C-alpha cells in the first residue's frame, strides 16, 4: 500500500511539474511577444520590425544552443535578459529587463517583487529554450 501511495504521489508531482513548465513557457511566449519580438522577430530569428533600425544586429535566438555546442546556455541567457548582472546582450543596447520588470509590476503583485522579476526572466529563458533548432 505504501508503494502505491508513493507512486501516486510521484505521478502527481510529475504532472504538476509538467503543467508548471508548460505554463512558464506560455507566460514566456507572451512576454517574448510583448518585449522581444519587435527586435528579435516573432520567430526569434532576429528579423523583427525594429531590426533594420538597430546599430547592432539582433541575434537569431533559435541558434543559442547550436552556437553553444548543442547545450542551451540557460544561466547566460538569464543574465543577459536580466541585464543587471553586468552581462549585457548585443554589446549593451538591449534593455535591462530586470529593471523593466521591476518597474512594471503585474496585476497579481503591485509591488514588482524580486520573485516576480525572476519569474518573468526565467519564463522568457524557458521559452527561448523551447524554440531552439
Could you tell me which of 98, 63, 94 has the C-alpha nearest to residue 78? 98
Q: E strands, the chain, where?
A: none
Please compute Rg for the chain using Cα positions: 17
pLDDT digit string, tens, across residues 15-39: 444 445 555 679 999 999 999 999 9
Look up cell 503543467; give the residue.
19
Query: What residues does each domain of the chain span?
Result: 2-130
- How far apart are the C-alpha atoms of 16 and 130, rounded to whole Å? 19
What is the reported pTM? 0.73
pLDDT tens by residue, 54-110: 888 889 999 999 999 999 999 999 999 998 876 555 455 678 888 888 776 556 655
Amino acid at each position: 500500500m505504501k508503494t502505491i501511495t508513493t507512486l501516486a504521489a510521484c505521478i502527481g508531482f510529475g504532472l504538476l511539474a509538467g503543467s508548471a513548465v508548460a505554463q512558464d513557457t506560455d507566460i514566456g511566449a507572451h512576454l517574448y511577444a510583448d518585449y522581444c519580438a519587435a527586435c528579435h522577430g516573432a520567430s526569434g530569428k532576429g528579423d523583427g520590425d525594429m531590426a533594420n533600425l538597430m546599430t547592432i544586429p539582433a541575434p537569431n535566438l533559435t541558434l543559442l544552443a547550436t552556437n553553444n555546442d548543442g547545450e542551451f546556455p540557460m544561466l547566460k541567457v538569464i543574465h543577459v535578459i536580466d541585464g543587471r548582472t553586468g552581462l549585457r546582450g548585443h554589446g549593451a543596447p538591449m534593455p535591462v529587463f530586470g529593471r523593466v520588470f521591476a518597474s512594471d509590476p503585474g496585476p497579481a503583485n503591485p509591488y514588482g517583487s524580486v520573485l516576480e522579476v525572476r519569474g518573468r526572466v526565467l519564463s522568457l529563458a524557458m521559452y527561448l529554450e523551447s524554440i531552439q533548432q
